[in-house]
Structure 1
Amino acid sequence: MSCLRAGLSLLHPTRSLLPRRSIVDMSYSQHFVDFQGSSIPSTMKKLLVTQLSPDFTKAVTLLPNVAVPVPGDEDLLIRNRYVGVNASDINFSSGRYDAMVKPPFDIGFEGIGEVVGLGLSASKNFAIGQPVAYVHTGSFADYTVVPAKTAFPVPSVTPEFLTFLISGTTAYISLKEFGNLSKGKKVLVTAAAGGTGQFAVQLAKQANCYVIGTCSSEEKAGFLKSIGCDLPINYKAENIASIIKEKFPEGVDVVYESVGGEMFDMSVKCLATKGHLIIIGFISGYQTPLGILPVKEAALPAVLLKKSASIHGFFLPQYMSEYKEAIMSLVKLHRTGKLVCEVDNGELSPEGKFTGLESVFRAVDYLYTGKNIGKIVVELPHLVNSKL
């Protein structure tokens, strides 16, 4: 399969990607057989939110022996091989996205794996054994049922593709909508070496901007240089505001902000006339009871008015009409060698690689230490290994 065809298949699922070896008729059977002929187990492990809390360990319970779900007529049963960890997982476990939600409920936003069961209608576009990626609640499980319309065929089951699903599309769509990027503009990316920051840096460079990236270590600064960041700033060793004021006395044109608190206050002060600040998160406050740190920039309206500057919030679920185009563009950039997709699987964490659902707790903690470089991914090994 050519890379181009692989990229196009994300938007136009087709049965021709893999030979159709077997289809489970859900109207007559609830038995699943994977593409290697091994029976799917009747039970599995999954994570479940059992109480609302910003403390992921308190909020979430590992269930070791629950029934493998049954896909409906238009659904796929996916054996998860890799799942992505996001800072907003603890916002979800806190119930902050829906005030009416009550535990217990599933958790995990994104995954990649193989189709091991499907309904008759879903079989029109998908086949047993086909590698797919998806964004759907409940990925923190050995097996997840997802609507076929929300799944994307992918060339192979590799963790790098997970970096596009939420992190990459968030950067792509938000910068396209609110960044007004063009040659020579100065762009500040906070948490630049993280899962979504890495894409903001590279996309801004694709637009011929000058990119400043904040990070917390010299190792991260080195990574940022390797992906084209013009000025990495290690905030633990340097004063960001002082450096920006000295080098760019007129301020920066665009800020891609995900930290919140003091970093947000500093970013507002660094905005140039007619500058844009894009808020895609405020991770520094997520673990607090209210989920946000107070903004000390009390004169915010006056500051924005004086500079004719603007602040835009961005929440990916409200921009799904732009999602397919974003995925297509990211795949094309990656295929042509213009986009790095850095994955952090925890190999350098104190207890080693993130393997198995048990390690999701450790991966979330690791994310909040701020030590990760790139997207944090957890591998879910299975007794039957894919030969795709």
Structure 2
Amino acid sequence: MSSLAWARSGGRAGSVLGWGRRGTGALSGVHPSARRFIIDLSYSAHFMDFKGSSIPSSMKKLVVTKLSPNFRDAVRTQTVAVPTPGDSDLLVRNRFVGINASDINYSAGRYDPSLKPPFDAGFEGIGEVVGLGLSASSRYTIGDTVAYFGSGAFAEYTVVPAKESVPVPAVKPEFLTLLVSGATAYIALKRLGDLTKGETVLITAAAGGTGQFAVQFAKKAGCHVIGTCSSNEKAGFLKSLGCDRAINYTTEDLAKILRKEYPHGIDVVYESVGGSVLELAVNSLAKKGRLIVIGFISGYQTASGVPSFRGGTLPVKLLQKSASIRGFFLPHFLSDYREALDSMMQMYAKGELVCEVDCGDLAQGGKFMGLESVFQAVDYMYAGKNLGKVVVEVTPPTVSNSKL
């Protein structure tokens, strides 16, 4: 790594966070230009992992090479040079990356039609800082642990703007669950749910990455919570979170249960499945009910990405109940992001929030280890086998070779 010039730019798309830890200015008395191409090696402690964890000259990353909702068809593993951080960037050695249902929306080009392949895949990661630019060293140092929410996470190393990094106490996958899944549930229910104590809340795919948090936040608001899931094991997990009625839709009729046990309807629905489940949710709304659409995973693997929905009478149904349907897309609510993350971090630290992680220990191929297992992890999630947030361990813990 001695030949690397640590001020060379390492490109990365996405700008979602504004996070710093030790101020925002450059080092005292130093006025770096936008890009330094010659580095005084006396500053090497600021730029290189001097603690003994060698940085290789090349790495693997996952790249979308063609647009397709079939993740295996769209994405390829490439070996490239390890990127170098710019003046205000961090080089993060990814330990864990999170799998999201929308990974295939991204690989299909649905989020930004102007984005053409090739482009990097993955939304979120957590790991150690192993390199950084001069300005970034005013807030971070080698060995710091950070998480981030942005593109290019499916890689062994990722360059992340320092201002978009989230300092975390340790490289634990539980913190990774909060970045997208937890934040989605927290902000959506707070801003769009208008939860009131005593109301009835239905959460679909409740044992999944974001559903687990929706259950907990609705219970904290004093609501009666119904959660749908696909197995008795998941139903047991939901009950352990405080879910009042866990419905295993593979053995129970969801529509009949809602009609029989909740004849007055559902006040709030946190919905991520789409299609027939969305239709049922609309029909089950109570007067002044609110339905929050946070996704429609049942259609993501289709060509259009949207499941069939019979909405011809939707205006009448909403009018008759003074009900509403509200859409939620996390990047539209970034002004709420920092407060949400701070609050969830505090709850987790106090033992008040469960962050269930599924690393594939019970998957057919075993635990999700190494970047190549991202493909298996995506398949695993879409097969509905996960309990909690699906996470891949990209690299093993750092073992220092330092003799000091």
Name the TM-score, length of structure 2 as normaliser: 0.88
The one-letter code matched in structure 1 to 2:90 is: L
The one-letter code matched in structure 1 to 2:22 is: T
Pairing 1:13–2:12 present: no
Secondary structure, aligned partner of 2:311: coil
Looking at structure 2, the residues matched to 200 and 35 of structure 1 have their Cα atoms a distance apart, in angstroms, of 42
Query: 2:284 aligns to what?
Result: 270
Query: 1:134 aligns to what?
Result: 148
Pairing 1:186–2:200 present: yes
Query: 2:295 aligns to what?
Result: 281
Aligned-residue offset at 1:381: 1.8
The one-letter code matched in structure 2 to 1:165 is: L
Query: 1:225 aligns to what?
Result: 239
Assess, with a 3 A threshold, how the Cα gap between structure 1 residues 154 and 222 changes in structure 2: closer, same or farther: same
Match of 2:262 among 230, 236, 248: 248
Secondary structure, aligned partner of 2:312: coil
Q: Which moved more, 1:291-300 or 1:72-81?
A: 291-300
Looking at structure 2, the residues matched to 384 and 335 of structure 1 have their Cα atoms a distance apart, in angstroms, of 24
Conserved? CA contact 1:26–1:120, under 8 Å: no
Query: 2:77 aligns to what?
Result: 62
Conserved? CA contact 1:190–1:197, under 8 Å: yes
Pairing 1:374–2:382 present: no
The one-letter code matched in structure 1 to 2:246 is: P
Pairing 1:52–2:60 present: no
Identity of aligned residues (%): 62
1:184-333 counterparts in 2 under 5 A?
184-333=198-347
Looking at structure 1, the residues matched to 73 and 100 of structure 2 have their Cα atoms a distance apart, in angstroms, of 17
Query: 2:6 aligns to what?
Result: none
Pairing 1:78–2:92 present: yes
Aligned-residue offset at 1:278: 0.2
Q: Which moved more, 1:256-265 or 1:327-336?
A: 327-336
Looking at structure 2, the residues matched to 245 and 291 of structure 1 have their Cα atoms a distance apart, in angstroms, of 30
Query: 2:57 aligns to what?
Result: 42
Write the deviation string for residues 239-286 of structure 1: whole angstroms up to 9, x where unpaired.
111111111111010000000011100100110000000000000000
Looking at structure 1, the residues matched to 204 and 53 of structure 2 have their Cα atoms a distance apart, in angstroms, of 47
Write the deviation string for residues 295-352 of structure 1: whole angstroms up to 9, x where unpaired.
1232111100110000000000011110000001111111222110000000011111
Looking at structure 2, the residues matched to 170 and 207 of structure 1 have their Cα atoms a distance apart, in angstroms, of 16
Write the deviation string for residues 143-185 of structure 1: whole angstroms up to 9, x where unpaired.
0001111001110001110000000000000000111112100
Query: 1:19 aligns to what?
Result: none
Conserved? CA contact 2:67–2:108, under 8 Å: yes
The one-letter code matched in structure 1 to 2:162 is: A
Looking at structure 1, the residues matched to 188 and 144 of structure 2 have their Cα atoms a distance apart, in angstroms, of 31
Conserved? CA contact 1:35–1:129, under 8 Å: no
Match of 2:160 among 119, 122, 146: 146
Q: Which moved more, 1:240-249 or 1:222-231?
A: 240-249
Query: 1:166 aligns to what?
Result: 180
Looking at structure 2, the residues matched to 314 and 355 of structure 1 have their Cα atoms a distance apart, in angstroms, of 32
Query: 1:20 aligns to what?
Result: none
Match of 1:28 among 24, 35, 38: 38
Conserved? CA contact 1:342–1:373, under 8 Å: yes
Pairing 1:361–2:375 present: yes
The one-letter code matched in structure 2 to 1:168 is: G
Looking at structure 2, the residues matched to 225 and 384 of structure 1 have their Cα atoms a distance apart, in angstroms, of 37
Conserved? CA contact 1:33–1:39, under 8 Å: no
Write the deviation string for residues 341-385 of structure 1: whole angstroms up to 9, x where unpaired.
000000011111000010000000000001100000000124833
Query: 2:11 aligns to what?
Result: none
Aligned-residue offset at 1:33: 3.1
Conserved? CA contact 1:74–1:147, under 8 Å: yes
Q: Which runs of 5+ in 2 are unaligned?
A: 1-17, 24-34
Looking at structure 1, the residues matched to 156 and 395 of structure 2 have their Cα atoms a distance apart, in angstroms, of 9
Match of 1:108 among 104, 122, 132: 122
Secondary structure, aligned partner of 2:76: strand
Looking at structure 2, the residues matched to 212 and 361 of structure 1 have their Cα atoms a distance apart, in angstroms, of 32
Secondary structure, aligned partner of 2:368: coil
Aligned-residue offset at 1:214: 0.3
Conserved? CA contact 1:77–1:145, under 8 Å: yes
The one-letter code matched in structure 1 to 2:62 is: L
The one-letter code matched in structure 1 to 2:318 is: L
Secondary structure, aligned partner of 2:49: coil
Conserved? CA contact 2:19–2:163, under 8 Å: no
Q: Which runs of 5+ in 1 are unaligned?
A: 1-9, 16-24
> Number of residues paired by the alignment?
368
The one-letter code matched in structure 1 to 2:63 is: L
Query: 1:334 aligns to what?
Result: 348
Aligned-residue offset at 1:386: 7.0
Conserved? CA contact 2:19–2:164, under 8 Å: no
Looking at structure 2, the residues matched to 307 and 38 of structure 1 have their Cα atoms a distance apart, in angstroms, of 61
Assess, with a 3 A threshold, how the Cα gap between structure 1 residues 386 and 256 changes in structure 2: closer, same or farther: farther
Pairing 1:176–2:190 present: yes
Looking at structure 2, the residues matched to 260 and 62 of structure 1 have their Cα atoms a distance apart, in angstroms, of 31
